[in-house]
Amino acid sequence: MKPVTYYDLKYLPNSSLKEKFERNINWMLSLTADQLLYNYRKNAGLDTKGATPLTVWESPDFFFRGHFTGHYLSGASKTIVMLKNTDPKDAHINDLKKRVDDIVAGLEQVQVELSKTSEYPGFLAAEPEKRWDNLEKLRFNGNHYVPYYAIQKLMDGLMDAYEYTNNKTALTLVKNLTSYIEKRIAHLTFETIAKMLDTRWYQGVGHYVFHQEFGAMHRTLLRLYELTDKQNKDYFELAEKFDRKWFDDMLIKNEDKLGYYSMHSNTELVGAEGMLSYYHLTGDDKYKQGVENYMDWMHNGHELPTKGISGRSAYPAPADYGSELYDYPEMQFKHLSKLNGESCCSHDLNYLSFELFADTKNPQLMDDYEIRFANAIMAQQNNDSAIAEYLYNLSVAPNSVKHFDRGGFWCCVGSGTERHATLVDGIYYEDDNDIYVAQYFDSILDLNHRHLKITQDSHYPDQHFAHLTVESATEDDFTIYVRVPSWSKQTEILVNGKAFKAEPQNGFVAIKQNWAGTNEITINFDFELRYETMKDRFNRIAIYYGPLLLAAQTEDLAASTVPASKYLEKLTKVEGKNNFELAGTDVIFKTLPEIPGETPYNVYVKVPDEPVVKTIDAQNDSAEGTDSTHEWTLAVDPDKKNYLKITYQAINDDIYSFQIENNDDVLFTQTMTKEEWPEDSYYIYPLPEKVTNGHDKLNIQIKPLDYEGSNYDVASINKIETLVSTK
């Protein structure tokens, strides 16, 4: 099975996806080629043509720059394809094509000029060559210089310009730059390359670990190898130098240490994309299995209510530097205490989901894709601007806001600009002669070679049904597989107005018939209010209506005095909208795309503790374990899900950081400060099942963290408990 190509897809007129697509076009046309070339020309000492430079991450004095130009080339090139699919005479086609060609021509001049002074010919970047020198010497001065990250985006953008607009110069530039990279890498030892590409902030040692982001270099070089008909084996071998055996092994062996290593969410996500590309090229099945394991980790342990990822790490600085990191699986309460949900991750997770779905037909991937698309991706553009949001705020604290910086040119502004060109991908798949319809967003599939067209026009999920019109000019017997979302408990399918009775198999219902002429499929979904309890704090719930995450658009949402199920009964649907009024208040729960920027909202509702666990052991400093030795033997249930709950005593102004171990194996890392004291003084730690399966006790030890040359203290413990699931 394979996803259909961009050439087979069209936007439905007057749809919300088409509106966002057009808004993105206007955003791209507001920028000039000279602006996008400014930093490249300046780096080469060329005339910047009087252009106004871009800002923040693309300002001329920022410590890395150039990535957005690559995203722009990708977005513009794919937009040209989508416009041609609908109207080959659309005036925006020539406007965007001229920008692409002008940028490529300008980059060609830059590459020629830089090659006069660079160590090897072919150098092309918006940053000085010394960035690579420092990287190879493992120099770090506090700024996250990421030169490979920036040029990887440029390489992908140039390859898109070649593949989708037939700009042959663009491919030549990539080949020249790849030759430059190959020569740089050739003189490095295996050990230096391994250190240079190591993304583990913490490795169980006390000294600082060099850290670098290098984007999707592995995947991008494999793409170049494939795009050039696999003629140059050097491309494949260079790509393999950007692979990391320890990372591959972690995924293949199904050992989720993303939080333990304090790893960067999107760097590892595109690392998984590289593994899947490697599988597609070589057929080595263990790499596909590793990616499947990774996506299971996301689903079960790392995804937020939007099905996006990223937040705080478990460590002190510098291994906790914001909102782009992993924590330990199922640890969300502190993970979400600041900004989180990086938009790049949502786009890349959906890309990886539809690629992997074509290999596995796993419906869970498409269920998560749907929720992520409807809540994270559809909310990335502000309601009045195409400037894409960098980070969401699904904080457990009240008064979150979506913050749109008009001039940030963050990574997510780049990925948003690129991915809003192709919002209708990931919906349709071909499996020999059969068609899989995995999503129900407004779109048109036009398979000209089969004289087959499928139109979806129900404005789902604003409306609670899907409507597919299937038009075939030939007598064609095949099967259309339609997905039944796991959240829809009672789903009704009609074919040409008549009920179609069939049970879903692996998440899909198969409709096989002769599709000659015009036929219609209607799918009525069971939209109901439901809630999910936070995995490590049982007094927080997120509320959904079908696939839609609801947020209270208000300041200081009051805690509920009634249980979660009763709270849902207090919500009344607003006529004609997917909004709900909270009884006795003026609070409205809305979907994230509807909430304007800079407006306070609350995703999590505080409720009385859900009865999902019971205590099976509790000890304190006067029990068997003592606070001075930090050791306890605690009972667990060998057959159920278990949790560790630790209630801490008040601390002073120091930073406390320590590791919670079982028989000397690290289970969790915890960092605490007086300013970020946990609500009610406790944290809950969901225990991995492999730790408790077949065991009736844990030997818990808590040890100070040795990191960055600092030996931190253990916070004083008032009580330690083990909890077991009541399910």
Architecture per CATH, 613-725: Sandwich (2.60)
* Phi, psi of 48, deg, nearest 5: -90, 10
User: What pLDDT, in 10s, does the model give residues 576-626?
Assistant: 999 999 999 999 999 999 988 788 899 999 999 999 999 999 998 644 444
Token output for 263: 């790893």
For residue 211, what pLDDT is reported?
72
Express each pLDDT in 197-211 by its tens digit.
998 988 886 665 667
Contact 264, 272 (CB under 8 A): no
Helix axes 91-115, 147-165, angle to 10 degrees: 130
The mean pLDDT value of the chain amounts to: 93
Residue 406 pLDDT class (50, 70, 90 cuts): low
Q: Are 494 and 457 in contact (CB under 8 A)?
A: no
Give the model's confidence band at 529: pLDDT under 50 very low, under 70 low, under 90 confident, else very high: very high
Q: Are strands 465-472 and 2-3 parallel, antiparallel or unpaired?
A: unpaired
The two structure tokens encoding residue 77: 């090139």
Among 85-99, 371-385, 666-680, the range scoring the smallest mean pLDDT is: 371-385
Contacts of 112 (CB under 8 A, 6+ apart): none
Q: Is the pLDDT score of 172 beyond 90? A: yes
User: Which of 111-120, 258-267, 314-323 has the weakest average pLDDT?
Assistant: 314-323
pLDDT band for position 111 (cuts 50, 70, 90): very high
Joined tokens for residue 528: 């109901």
Number of neighbours of residue 412 by Cβ within 10 angstroms: 24
Could you give the percent of the chain with pLDDT greater than 90? 83
Structure tokens given for 560: 């509920």
Q: What is the C-alpha separation between 19 and 547, in angstroms, rounded?
A: 21
d(CA 586, CA 588): 6
The answer to whether 682 and 646 are in contact (CB under 8 A) is yes
> Which residues touch 413 (CB under 8 Å, ≥6 apart)?
68, 71, 387, 388, 390
Q: In the predicted model, what is the mean pLDDT of residues 31-41?
A: 98
Give the mean pLDDT of 214-218. 95
Alpha carbon 149 to its chain's center: 16
Q: What is the pLDDT of residue 621?
A: 64
Half-sphere exposure of 352 (CA within 13 A, CB side): 30
For residue 364, CA distances in Å to 276, 291, 407 come to 18, 14, 37
Backbone angles phi, psi at 392, to 5 degrees: -85, 180
- Read off the DSSP letter of residue 515: -
- The residue among 241, 71, 239, 89 whose CA lies nearest residue 159 is 71
- The structure tokens 């074509």 sit at 358
End-to-end CA distance of the chain: 38
pLDDT at 419 over 50: yes
d(CA 71, CA 727): 47
Burial 161-192 (b: 16+ CB within 10 A, else e): bbbbbebeebbbbbbbbbbbbbebbeeeeeee
What's the CA gap between 46 and 524, in Å, rounded?
60
pLDDT, mean of residues 553-569: 95
Residue identified by tokens 């210089």 is 145
Quick check: helix, strand or coil at residue 593?
helix
Position 142 scores a pLDDT of 56
Max Cα–Cα distance, the chain, nearest Å: 81
* Residue from 247, 329, 244, 251 nearest 288 by CA: 251
Q: What angle do CA 645, 659, 319 make, to 5 degrees?
A: 115
pLDDT in tens, 49-83: 999 999 989 999 988 899 999 999 999 999 999 99
DSSP string, 174-235: HHHHHHHHHHHHHTS-HHHHHHHT---S--SSSS-------TTHHHHHHHHHHHTTT--HHH
Q: Is the peptide bond before 318 cis (omega within 30 degrees of 0)?
A: yes
Report d(CA 518, CA 89) in Å as an integer.
Answer: 28
- DSSP letter for 134, please: H
Domain segments of the chain: what residues? 31-178+216-237, 428-524, 529-606, 613-725
Torsion of CA 564, 565, 566, 572, to 10 degrees: 100
Residue 688 half-sphere exposure toward CB, CA atoms < 13 A: 17
Give yes or no for residue 716 having a pLDDT over 70: yes
- Single-letter code of the amino acid located at 593: P
Mean pLDDT of 120-125: 98
pLDDT at 262 over 50: yes
**E runs forming strands in 457-547:** 465-472, 477-483, 492-495, 498-499, 508-514, 517-524, 529-533, 540-545
Three-class secondary structure assignment of 334-368: CCCCCCEEEHHHHHHHHHHHHHHHHHHCCHHHHHH
Confidence (pTM):
0.96
Cβ atoms of 235 and 228 closer than 8 Å: yes
Q: What is the pLDDT of residue 727?
A: 87
Q: Tell me, what's the pLDDT at 597?
A: 79
CATH class of 428-524: mainly beta
pLDDT band at 120 (very low <50, low <70, confident <90, very high): very high
pLDDT in tens, 431-453: 999 999 999 999 999 999 999 99
Contact 323, 342 (CB under 8 A): yes
- Alpha-carbon Rg for the chain, nearest whole angstrom, is 26
What is the spatial distance between Cα 446 and Cα 8, in angstroms, rounded to a whole number? 5
